[in-house]
Amino acid sequence: MTFPEELSCRELVELVTDYLEDALSPAERVRFEEHLRACPGCETYLEQMRRTIDVLGRVTEESLEPAARDQLLDLFRNWKRGDRAN
Ligand SMILES: [Zn+2]
């Protein structure tokens, strides 16, 4: 159940900082939010990022706990295997 314009989880993870910094285009933002509605894993990821920003003031790749990020990316790989070739 994927659509051509649907964001993959990996893309969402890559866009999350732009989303939180309000740097996405309107079209990207819509796709981002549509993915969130359908994907509890990414919703959780976004919440983690929000909390990180609350604590640190801003977010970087490095500020996310590596173990947590790897775990999420493993989940994504299992869910979306073959979803989209890189
Ligand atoms: Zn997702």
Tell me how far apart the alpha carbons of residues 82 and 33 are, in angstroms, rounded to a whole number.
Answer: 22
Q: Band of the pLDDT at 19, cuts 50, 70, 90?
A: very high
Taking the centre of ligand 1 as the mean of its atom positions, its distance from the CA of residue 74, in whole angstroms, is 12
Q: What is the CA radius of gyration of the chain?
A: 13
Taking the centre of ligand 1 as the mean of its atom positions, its distance from the CA of residue 35, in whole angstroms, is 6
Q: Is residue 49 within 8 Å of residue 16, measured between CB atoms?
A: yes
User: According to the model, what pLDDT value does residue 55 have?
Assistant: 78
User: According to the model, what pLDDT value does residue 60 have?
Assistant: 59
In degrees and rounded to multiples of 5, residue 60 shows phi and psi of -130, 165
Q: Where are the alpha helices (DSSP H) in the chain?
A: 9-20, 26-38, 40-56, 66-79
Tell me how far apart the alpha carbons of residues 86 and 84 are, in angstroms, rounded to a whole number.
Answer: 6
| 20-57 pLDDT, tens digit each | 889 999 999 999 999 999 999 999 999 988 888 787 77
Taking the centre of ligand 1 as the mean of its atom positions, its distance from the CA of residue 21, in whole angstroms, is 19
pTM: 0.60
Taking the centre of ligand 1 as the mean of its atom positions, its distance from the CA of residue 11, in whole angstroms, is 9
Tell me how far apart the alpha carbons of residues 53 and 21 are, in angstroms, rounded to a whole number.
Answer: 10
